[in-house]
Amino acid sequence: MNQPLIANPIYAVICRDLKLALRRRSDALIPLFFFVVVVSLFPLGIGPESETLRRIAPGVLWVSALLASMLSLNRLFEQDYADGTLEQMMFSPASLAMLVLGKITAHWLLSGLPLALLAPVLALQFNLPTSSLWILTVSLVIGTPVLSLIGAVGAGLTLGVRAGGVLLAVLVLPLYIPVLIFGAGAVDASIIGRGASANLSLLAAVFVLAAFFTPFATSASLRIALEY
Amino acid sequence: MVNWFKFSSPKTFYPLAGKLIPWFGVTAALLSFAGIYVGFFLAPTDAQQGEGYRIIFLHVPVSWMSMVIYLAMAFWAAIGLVFNSRLSAMMASALAPTGALFAFLSLWTGALWGKPMWGTWWVWDARLTSELILLFLYIGFIALQSAIDDRRRADKAGAVLALVGVVNVPVIYFSVQWWNTLHQGASVSLTRAPSMAKVMLLGMVIMVFAAWAYSAAAALARVRCIILEREHHADWLREIEGVKR
């Protein structure tokens, strides 16, 4: 375990987190079920007219995806914090930011990617045209990593804090708003018939910025949490 | 040459703040009286908006200050994080409630202005929404700091959050240029001549300085309370008159 951790910290941490998740499958599956249930509630609450449903579909799917990916955030570091693994990671010669990036990638593979793959199936309930289903998937594939990246900063800041889960939502949701606007905007634009590429490019720009900065912000927040 | 570092410790800053507060307070009171007088009695009625536009004398200063205070808060938070100086972190947490108040006032006066002019209290326009996010960021900062019992950790965690949220400020500032929506463009610009009457501009500028002075007075008063709270064990506090342990 020691050698790959130094040689390729991101890969080693991803493998470890995926292996851990495979042994506790329900942890990864519950947010997915949450996503399915919440999305299915909207047609019941709003009414079954297909025209209305098509208009609200991008927002509904995106907000539900956002909430579902946030559900698993507070477990991102909690177990490692509780059993001391996180402290060992800080002692390791590998850069903490890279280890954190590995954990975030694993989180995305377990929460964001399944959401993006599941979303087009759920979008069928909302009567979306086929071309928009593609845009929806693409926007979620670009957007959900940003949710994991920004969420990791919040998870680090609220680690071991009273009522951390609710506080995490308060801190992270305002920062998610740009992702929501561009992501839902891309799907919306494709439904109306305008190209989605402008929104997708902006979303990709947000992703690049977040991917560069948030691993450092997260490792800073973890150092603060552990006073290391 | 004044040695500014001398005032970077709570011990020397506490009496200085005490001396500065009345000056800023009186300045704020005088300037707001002057600004309100200019705004309500000297400024002409607007050609398009009638009398309703006069809320600009409150709306613009509080909106600017809500952004400026966030930048100041993030600046002090960053200084506190880098140099590990206690007073900077205290300044950051002293500024947050005033900033939140101004962001709230900005949204509320904007709603009062929007109702007669646009016919609606609220639209999901880029500038309004980003100002709302700013209010959420202030609330998040305050909530995070009050949720952590260990003061040093609270300071540092708040600092990281303030720095992450600072990306929002330019978005608010440029939102009227980037998105062409209901909110009107900037009335005042540094690069071109003002598009409003001289007297209106004067009233607004006076109110902006009043808001600055008020923020300084409020933040200094609050930082004094924070110093008393956190340094209650220190010996130097006993030597200051009027401070009971």
Structure tokens at B58: 């409150």
Residue B234 to chain A, least CA–CA distance (Å): 24
Name the more confident of B168 and A96: A96
The answer, yes or no, to whether ipTM is higher than 0.85 is: no
CB contact under 8 A, A161 and B148: yes
C-alpha–C-alpha distance, residues A177 and B108, integer Å: 21
| Closest chain A residue by Cα to residue B142 | A171
C-alpha–C-alpha distance, residues B151 and B154, integer Å: 5
Is residue B242 scored above 80 in pLDDT?
no
Percent of residues, chain A, with pLDDT higher than 70: 96
pLDDT band at A12 (very low <50, low <70, confident <90, very high): confident
Name the more confident of B201 and B178: B201
Q: How many CB pairs under 8 A join A and B?
A: 53
Instruction: Note the pTM of the prediction, 2 decimals.
Output: 0.83
B-chain CB neighbours of A163 within 8 Å are: 147
pLDDT band at B114 (very low <50, low <70, confident <90, very high): confident
- Report the range of poorest mean pLDDT among A158-162, B33-37, B105-109, B153-157: A158-162
Of A167, A175, A217, the CB nearest to B144: A167
Of A162, A170, A227, the CB nearest to B140: A170
- Across A109-120, average pLDDT: 91
Is B129 an 8 Å CB contact of chain A?
Answer: yes
Tell me what the pLDDT averaged over chain B comes to.
Answer: 83
Is A179 an 8 Å CB contact of chain B?
Answer: no
pLDDT in tens, A170-216: 899 888 888 888 888 888 888 887 778 888 998 999 999 999 999 99
The pLDDT value recorded for residue A228 is 64
Is residue B129 scored above 90 in pLDDT?
no
- Across B221-238, average pLDDT: 83
| Closest chain B residue by Cα to residue A226 | B153
Residues in chain B: 245
- Across B188-204, average pLDDT: 68
The pLDDT value recorded for residue B105 is 93
Of A111, A177, A174, nearest in space to A144 by CA: A111
| Closest chain A residue by Cα to residue B163 | A217
Tell me what the pLDDT averaged over chain A comes to.
Answer: 87
Is A173 an 8 Å CB contact of chain B?
Answer: yes
CB B182 within 8 A of CB B123: yes
Is residue B189 scored above 60 in pLDDT?
no
The pLDDT value recorded for residue A215 is 92
B-chain CB neighbours of A152 within 8 Å are: none
B-chain CB neighbours of A217 within 8 Å are: 160, 163-164
B-chain CB neighbours of A173 within 8 Å are: 136
Of B36, B97, B58, B23, nearest in space to B211 by CA: B58
| Closest chain B residue by Cα to residue A177 | B133
What is the sign of the dihedral through the CA atoms of A160, A161, A166 and A171? negative
| Closest chain A residue by Cα to residue B171 | A178
The pLDDT value recorded for residue B241 is 63
CB A200 within 8 A of CB A138: yes
Is residue B179 scored above 90 in pLDDT?
no
C-alpha–C-alpha distance, residues B15 and B7, integer Å: 10
| Closest chain B residue by Cα to residue A218 | B160
Of A150, A170, A221, the CB nearest to B157: A221
The pLDDT value recorded for residue A218 is 93
Percent of residues, chain B, with pLDDT higher than 70: 87
Three-state SS annotation for B60-108: HHHHHHHHHHHHHHHHHHHHHHHHCCHHHHHHHHHHHHHHHHHHHHHHH
> Burial, B209: exposed, middle or buried (Cβ in 10 Å; 0-12, 13-18, 19+)?
middle
- Which residues 133-162 of B have a C-beta within 8 angstroms of A? 133, 136-137, 139-140, 143-144, 147-149, 153, 156-157, 160-161
SS3 A161: coil
pLDDT in tens, A121-157: 988 888 888 888 889 999 999 999 999 999 999 999 9
SS3 A76: coil
- Across B37-42, average pLDDT: 84
SS3 A204: helix
pLDDT band at B142 (very low <50, low <70, confident <90, very high): very high
C-alpha–C-alpha distance, residues B197 and B200, integer Å: 5
B-chain CB neighbours of A161 within 8 Å are: 144, 147-148
> Burial, A83: exposed, middle or buried (Cβ in 10 Å; 0-12, 13-18, 19+)?
exposed
pLDDT band at A37 (very low <50, low <70, confident <90, very high): very high
CB contact under 8 A, B136 and A173: yes
Residue A103 to chain B, least CA–CA distance (Å): 20
